[in-house]
Amino acid sequence: MSHKMSQPPSLLNKWIQENNELVNKWKQQEKGRDTVRQDHNQPHLKWCSYEFHKLLGIIQGIPPNSDYTQLELAVVYNAGVCATAQAQFSEAELFLTQAAERVLQVTGGETGASDPLVCWRAVLKSVENTHLHPSVLYLVCLQWAIWLATCQLKTIQEFQEEMPSLFETLCGGVGDGAISEARSKSSNIPLMVMDPRRLIELLQICTSIALGAERLTEGQSSEALTGLQAASSLPAPRALVGYTHLLSGSCLTHMRRPQMALQCYRKALETDSRCVCALYQSMLIYRQLGNTQAEIQALRLLHSTLMLPSATDPALASTHLLSPSSLLCSQSLSSLLSVPSALSVLHSLALKCLLCGRVSEGVEHYLDLLAVLHSEDQQGLHTQDATIPRLPELYLEAGAALLMARRPADCLALCSEVISTTLELLPEKVVLEEPEERREAETRDTEGENRVAMVLWTAAAYLLQGHCHSHLKDWKQAVTHYTRCINLLVKVRLKKRDFQPQFSSADMDVQRGKDLCVLQKLKGLSLAGRGISFTQTDKLKEALRDLQLSLQAFPGIFLCTYRNLSLALCWTQQSSATEYRNLVLPSQPGDKKRMPCHLMNRINFLHPVKRNPLSQQTWINRESKLEHVLRVHSV
Amino acid sequence: AMEGRCAVETWTEFGFLGTSTTPKVRFGTDVFICTGNDEVYVFSTHERKLKASNCFSVKDDLPLCCVSFSLNMTFHSCRAQSSSPDSSSIPAELKISEFLVIEADGVSSLLLVGTVLLTLSQRDSSWLMTLYKTPEQTESSSYEVLGSFSLPLVSAVVQADTESKTSVLICLHCGDTAPLTLPHGHFCLEPVLFKLLFGVEAALAKSPVILCGLPDGRLCFLPLRLPGARLRVLHSIEQPVVFVGASVVTETGPGHSQCLVAMGEQGRVVLIKTEKGRSEDGSSLAGFTEGIVSGPVQCGCLDRNCLYYSTGSDLLLLDLSEGSSGKESKERVEETSRKTLQSPTSLNVSRVVALAEPTSNTSVQLLGLSVRGQLQRISLPARRKDAGLSKLPSAQVGRSIRDLLSAIGDVCERSSVLKTAIKSKNQILRHLNQVVNISFLLTATNNTEDDPAIKEKPIRCHAMTSWSRLLQKDCLNLTCVLDNSSPFVLERGWTLSVTVFPLCCSSTAGEEISSANFSFPFQNLNSGETLEVLLPIAAAGDSSFPMTVNCSLIFSLSSLLGEQEAASSNISLPLNTLTVDWLNALQLNSPTARHKMVTFQPGSITTDPIQAFISSRQIRCSGRADRGAESGSRPEKYSASVRVSSELLKDSLVLKNSNLDPKISLSSLTVHACGPNGATVKLTAKKVGIVFSDELEVQVESSSMTAVCGLHHAVLSRIQVQTHTHTVRLNTIFREVQQNQISGALGVGMTAGQMNPGLLSVYQELRQNPLLII
């Protein structure tokens, strides 16, 4: 090798200097802009990548030469890292294969292996015990990173199995820290844009996380758990360690150990306070356990965390060129780490508060929600998760909340906003299709406006207005609005009548025939409301008629009125004793301790806890709230 | 074609002839022009001079892709990194940021909505709309990504076809929620159309909607402030979208655009409007009207109701308001719109590559940039008030004027017909009012018939008889006079109906009642006027006297209302009944009369027989007894007489009922006359004075039994009428007498002296009105 030193050293030094200059420039840039988000490094990164590529082209312009090989490998590493950071993986892999071939040409190894595993084995073998070995190892690390970034976990696993020793070498201090430190002092040692030791640390934990996520998705929870628990002790950024705890928690949830899962989530939060997913997952567990207070607490925490400005930054922002987020891009992991938007959380919080009786709190949250929706600030709105209900439904929910909080005037305003929006578009008649033909997902995706939904929204708004007026004891207005509601509802024609909602069955598929269910419920509620309004204006005949119709439309609603003693008295006075006996008495609970049917219904509706509990039947919930309002009102 | 020519005024020349890429132009008070490579010019339209040029130059390999301007005139460029600008040449208000704000590949258009900067760029497999939050201070460089929305490409084929990757981005606001001043590229859409196109949620969230036209022809939209919104396809015109805009079209709303217009490179135009009640359930729908104009379209702009577009060789105008005129049926709309789209008007301005909407309100002015780099102001010829007409071809104008004129004629005719109808209806109403008044008047007097002498009908008939000779035959005519003394006018439609029939019909003969009916329609009879009609009632030899003459007024509604409306329903109002008796029918001037003692004038024909009658003196009516005694010398074999006081006779002569002139002579008279049956009669009246000095005996003598009976009956019936009134008077006298007697019998304190004058007066009265006994 020494005879080669006769070659003009200036060229080598020049190239090394050029490389080092580029690296230093990059590091300077990185330091100067460490607070700035990564996006803004992009032009500079591109420039760096371009420059490294150019330099590499110059270096590779001469035939493979062992004197230059180390420099060349360093430049390949730098150019490859830059390319990978820009997600130009094919370009980076091209650098790597070219470099491998050139190394093999220098060392006289066997060239032409197309399989990257075979190729790398050959290269490593050929450079064994030479000074090129560490440099080649770095390139293998880069290859590993590319595999990880392109989610080729199988390849990584094969590689690990085939060359466990290599991995041990890699993991056990390839970098030989002291040496590289010493090297960096010298000017004729080529520098690297990213410390290989950091890269290896990152690769180890990211691989563990990605593998864990993959196994968890495949249902191998216990295997995933062991791997993740082992990874949690690795030296790594806090966020990544947090991920291992988080995923362990998810494994435990799958293994039906909610308390242990909660412990893991707490650990994840302790490790990384910004781990919103852990908060979210614990909230889900509390919900599953039926711990409403804790659930609300968790929701509130989750919301405030999401509202922090840092929450919008990627959790894994790093000053390294290769960020963990670019390495952890598998579908299964991202779905495991997904967290609903702040808006959605706020909505869940509001709804939860309302349903568990914390009305004023719920109202505040609803008002916050509406304020966010109408604020000029676009923050947080541009999420594509569709877990919050459609806007008119949100308005109506907020209206119902306001009414429950005894703010009928505000409720009226919200409802009239909904009505004024939909009024011009209401169809003269609308056909409600057979429940099987339409699904919730389709409903949401249909082009244009769903006419049935529009009618139901408007009708619900009228119903709420009717409730508001009866709350204000303006019975005439109440009758007017209930009548409007009824008039709207009768425009809906049912295409197939064989489907009768079975409200008593607990396992009723609420998804099916949801519109029909809502329609019947609205009919029942509006008729009952009008009936009650009629009793207040001493129109007992009409009242009786409406209440009977209400009973036909939706049996559950009627039960709300049986407690109304004055109403019952009215009937008996009106010599309608038979009606009273037929209608009221059978619905009286025989056992006083038994829960009234409508409450049971409500609980049935609330019960389903799905994978994503935030997208539960808010419609039904709202209707039950209305029912609640009516009940409160009529007693 | 259009009258007058467009005035084109070249303001300045940039001289970028033949650049391959289309220049980017941003019009406003300052016109920014980017030649596509390295230069941006700023031209002030107020000062009409170039403010700055070369203020921005970029590297050759990084072509400036698109430019947009925010309110504070920050200059955004996409792929360009500027060199330091020549600060001296830049206007003070224009600050150009020197840094690269966003680096994104393939950005084809930009739009600024509030503080959000939107970019639309094409990626390998999708279109990507990215939202950036613009910093508050222009010096800061942090353009935070708020979110991005992607839309997959349709296919590689379509993409390969589209060489130019230009896209159009506009922002639409919903009616009332729109800000007062809309920046460039922002439109305020009518609320119903907005909701129909973009959903009620966007309207409820008061969210602006971004509409983008893509080179593959798709029109996509994104509600900006709606959580969970996605970039969705609204429509596709299947050719590169050159222009998207919104136009008012009809000036109903306060500046709300009613029509969304998109234009493709090959000339396909789509108008999107609300169509009311189109769907089967009666609700509104968004209607897409497509049409094709001759392309290639290079650029376009909209004003209130016109679309201007340049094909490079010509600048054309497309009136959009015509399509909205007929809304009766879908076919009609399609028809008219197709017609509209087929006939754009040429403005004869060529080589325009960029256009800006009219800047002034009074006359239409466009700002155009020609392919030679000339910034031009194009003033369209002044349009008439009716904008639709001025743009039509002259043949069409002529036709439409003819149509209009005939329409005006039709309307005039119709209105005059209606006026006449109203007038006639009023007339009829007034007329009917008169009729109703008259009938009320006549029926009201009918009802109070108790005392006909007191209450006489204000409309009544008088009659006179006269003999006339016609065709060697004598006949008796009745002159009937209708006297209208009511305050009302008898107008057209009234008919005087006179029915004449014998008073006593011989039931034994079994023949029909030979009644004769005469109708006299008349036109107008004012208050106080009379109508005289003459009618024959009997020929000589006819002896069916006395005859009753019934007068009535008939109003036929059909004459007034037309036949179909009042189906022969007539109002018949009886007036009064007259009697023509033997006395009336006596013929004194008959050539068969032997005695010429009485001469008569035609005017007193009816008087003379009365006078003659009064003078006749024969007491007994025993015709059979006298017949033999007197038959030898005289033809009068039968006689009848009646005694009557001369006063009563006088009275009976003035009975209004018979309309006889009170020409009486109480001297003894003998009248020879000829009855209607041709028999000679002699009427004698002479004083007898046995009981009362003024007693008269009236004697009828004739050889004809019929004549004697008839005349005797006539005399008696007349006297009876008179005695009827006397009887009434006598009754009152008797009552007074009785009263006096009763009071005399009961009144103890009443002296004989007090009673006597009462009795005396009764007596006197009785004397003055002597009772007549037949």
Q: What is the pLDDT of residues B632-680, one digit of tens each?
A: 444 446 777 776 666 666 655 443 333 333 333 444 566 777 777 777 7
User: Using alpha carbons only, what angle is made at residue A95 by residues A90 and A98, rounded to the nearest 5 degrees?
Assistant: 120
Determine the pLDDT at residue A364. 92
Task: Check pLDDT > 90 for residue B20.
Answer: no
Residue B326 has phi, psi (to 5 degrees) of -95, 120
- Give the pLDDT band (50/70/90) at residue A296: very high
Greater pLDDT, B243 or B472 = B243
- Give the pLDDT band (50/70/90) at residue B216: confident
Mutation site for A-interface testing, chosen from B193, B195, B283 by largest number of A Cβ within 10 Å: B283
Task: Check pLDDT > 70 for residue A66.
Answer: yes
**pLDDT tens track for B359-413:** 555 566 777 877 777 788 888 776 544 444 445 567 677 777 887 888 888 888 8
End-to-end, the C-alpha distance of chain B in Å comes to 111
Q: Which residues of chain A are within 8 Å of residue B80 when distances are taken between CB atoms?
A: none
Q: Looking at residues B494-523, what average pLDDT do you find? A: 71
Task: Check pLDDT > 80 for residue A530.
Answer: yes
**Mean predicted lDDT score pLDDT of chain A:** 73
Distance from the B86 Cα atom to the nearest Cα atom in chain A, whole angstroms: 25
Kindly state the percentage of chain A with pLDDT values over 70.
69
Distance from the A426 Cα atom to the nearest Cα atom in chain B, whole angstroms: 6
Residue A174 has phi, psi (to 5 degrees) of -60, -45
Structure tokens at A130: 């030479």
Determine the pLDDT at residue B567. 58
Q: Which residues of chain B are within 8 Å of residue A417 when distances are taken between CB atoms?
A: 204
Spatial CA neighbour of B220 closest among B205, B207, B237, B206: B237
Distance from the B40 Cα atom to the nearest Cα atom in chain A, whole angstroms: 24
**pLDDT tens track for B88-116:** 334 433 444 444 455 556 677 778 787 78
B282 close contact with A: CB closer than 8 A: yes
Task: Check pLDDT > 90 for residue B247.
Answer: no
Q: Looking at residues A548-572, what average pLDDT do you find? A: 57
Other beta carbons less than 10 A from residue B138's beta carbon: 16
Q: What are the extents of the domains in chain B?
A: 7-72+94-321+340-381, 460-505+514-580, 583-590+668-725
Determine the pLDDT at residue A462. 92
Task: Check pLDDT > 60 for residue B328.
Answer: no
B145 close contact with A: CB closer than 8 A: yes
Provide ipTM, 2 decimals: 0.70
B131 close contact with A: CB closer than 8 A: yes
Beta-bridge mates of residue B484: B459
Mutation site for B-interface testing, chosen from A370, A391, A420 by largest number of B Cβ within 10 Å: A391
Cβ–Cβ under 8 Å, residues B365 and B8: no
Greater pLDDT, A405 or B326 = A405
Structure tokens at A224: 């995933």
**pLDDT tens track for A111-162:** 666 777 778 878 878 877 777 787 888 888 888 888 888 888 888 888 777 7
Contact B204 A395 (CB under 8 A): yes
Distance from the B80 Cα atom to the nearest Cα atom in chain A, whole angstroms: 12
Determine the pLDDT at residue A440. 43
Greater pLDDT, B643 or A64 = A64
Greater pLDDT, A503 or B80 = A503
Spatial CA neighbour of A248 closest among A266, A229, A233, A267: A229
Q: Looking at residues A203-209, what average pLDDT do you find? A: 85
Greater pLDDT, B542 or A473 = A473
Per DSSP, which regions of B53-202 are E strands?
Answer: 67-69, 75-77, 107-113, 116-122, 126-133, 144-152, 168-174, 186-189
Q: Of the ranges B275-284, B680-689, B753-762, which one carries the lowest mean pLDDT score?
A: B753-762
Other beta carbons less than 10 A from residue B627's beta carbon: 14
Determine the pLDDT at residue B602. 31
Determine the pLDDT at residue A574. 43
CATH 3.30.43, applies to A11-31+39-172+190-194: no
B736 close contact with A: CB closer than 8 A: no
d(CA B598, CA B586): 13
Secondary structure letter of residue B490 according to DSSP? B
B192 close contact with A: CB closer than 8 A: yes
User: What would the CATH number be for the domain defined by A389-433+448-496+509-572?
Assistant: 1.25.40.10
Determine the pLDDT at residue A42. 65
B116 close contact with A: CB closer than 8 A: yes
Q: Are strands B473-484 and B186-189 parallel, antiparallel or unpaired?
A: unpaired
Contact B145 A39 (CB under 8 A): yes
For A329, what's the count of Cα atoms within 13 Å in the CB-facing half-sphere?
Answer: 14
Alpha carbon dihedral B655, B659, B665, B667, in 10-degree steps, equals: -60
- Give the pLDDT band (50/70/90) at residue A208: confident
CA B355 to chain centre: 51
Determine the pLDDT at residue A393. 86
Determine the pLDDT at residue A479. 92
Determine the pLDDT at residue A285. 92
3-state SS, B89-113, equals: HCCCCCCCCCCCCCCCCCEEEEEEE
- Residues of B179-212 as b/e, b for ≥16 C-beta within 10 angstroms? eeeeeebbbbbbbbbbbbbbbbbbbbbbbbbbbb
Contact A378 B279 (CB under 8 A): no
Spatial CA neighbour of A175 closest among A126, A235, A221: A235
Greater pLDDT, B400 or A243 = A243
Contact B116 A385 (CB under 8 A): no
Kindly state the percentage of chain B with pLDDT values over 90.
1
Q: Which residues of chain A are within 8 Å of residue B133 when distances are taken between CB atoms?
A: 378-379
Determine the pLDDT at residue B530. 84
Q: Which residue of A has its CA nearest to B227?
A: A381
Q: Of the ranges A192-206, A245-259, B26-40, which one carries the lowest mean pLDDT score?
A: B26-40
- Give the pLDDT band (50/70/90) at residue A512: very low
Contact B225 A391 (CB under 8 A): no
Q: Which residues of chain B are within 8 Å of residue A314 when distances are taken between CB atoms?
A: none
Q: Which residue of A has its CA nearest to B207?
A: A374
Size of interface A-B (CB pairs under 8 A): 98
Q: In chain A, what's the furthest Cα-to-Cα distance?
A: 123
Q: Looking at residues B55-72, what average pLDDT do you find? A: 39
**pLDDT tens track for B548-589:** 888 888 887 777 776 655 556 777 888 888 777 777 777 664
Distance from the A370 Cα atom to the nearest Cα atom in chain B, whole angstroms: 9
Task: Check pLDDT > 50 for residue A382.
Answer: yes
**Mean predicted lDDT score pLDDT of chain B:** 67
Q: Which residues of chain A are within 8 Å of residue B200 when distances are taken between CB atoms?
A: 391-392, 421-422, 425, 449, 454, 457
User: What would the CATH number be for the domain defined by B7-72+94-321+340-381?
Assistant: 2.130.10.10
Task: Check pLDDT > 90 for residue A483.
Answer: yes
Q: What are the extents of the domains in chain A?
A: 11-31+39-172+190-194, 389-433+448-496+509-572
Q: Which residue of A has its CA nearest to B145?
A: A39
Greater pLDDT, A302 or B119 = A302
Task: Check pLDDT > 90 for residue A286.
Answer: yes
Superfamily of the domain at B460-505+514-580: Immunoglobulins (2.60.40.10)
Which range, A464-468, A518-522, B293-297, has the best average confidence (pLDDT)? A464-468
Q: Which residue of A has its CA nearest to B206?
A: A374
Q: Which residues of chain A are within 8 Å of residue B115 when distances are taken between CB atoms?
A: 376, 378
Please tell me which of the candidates B103, B147, B149 has its beta carbon nearest to residue A43: B103
Q: Which amino acid is at A476?
A: K
**pLDDT tens track for B174-200:** 877 666 777 777 888 888 888 888 888
Q: Of the ranges A289-293, A516-520, A539-543, A575-579, which one carries the lowest mean pLDDT score?
A: A575-579
Q: Which amino acid is at B537?
A: I
